[in-house]
Structure 1
């Protein structure tokens, strides 16, 4: 399932590399532009980490993401759903 989030780049993370295979991941936090903003942590994975160059803090963007979900076992609460937003398209927005 894909979702679009429109908002300002609140924070831009650094690219992190994991494991022997060099898996790459970065995170961007987008704040919606409304009276009571929502904040979304959006992941950039592997070859899409180059989308990080498109972000500038304070500027507005429309980010198209894949909504991914899986079950995670926790120590105290049993199995719980875990959701992530993985970006694959970034467009500047003039607001």
Structure 2
């Protein structure tokens, strides 16, 4: 699955427990009629993927949905969901040229002012 949106917040890397479990959270705001603010967590070595991104950047994040079951001390079963990111890409603003390279400005071209009527029929074949 993928989520696209603008980065609203990037948290610091947090370390938990004796084994050094690492987690870092990013909040992305979707661009739709009713924007959603989605907290996506990156864990372990994936936390470093967020180092090259900043608040305000448009990104596409590949995610997995995770669900856990937990029984509290009173014996009640609780369920928790999380969104876990595993890849992040910068989304460049799309151009309207449909993949064509940009056209240089008119000033980049030299004027063709020395054309003669006789020169137009100078084909070698």
Q: TM-score, normalised by structure 1?
A: 0.86
| Cα deviation digits, residues 38-63 of structure 1 (max 9, x gap) | 11110010000101113210111000
Unaligned runs of 5+ in 1: none
Q: Which residue of 2 aligns with 1:23?
A: 21
Q: How many residues align?
A: 92
Q: Could you say what the CA RMSD is over the residues aligned between the two structures, in angstroms?
A: 1.7
The structure-2 alpha-carbon separation of the partners of 1:74 and 1:52, relative to structure 1 and needing over 3 Å to count, comes to same
Larger radius of gyration between Structure 1 and Structure 2 = 2
- Return the TM-score normalized by structure 2: 0.67
Q: Which has the higher contact order (CA 8 A, sep 6+)?
A: 1
| Higher share of residues assigned strand | 1
Question: Please, which runs of 5 or more residues in structure 2 have no aligned partner?
Answer: 94-125
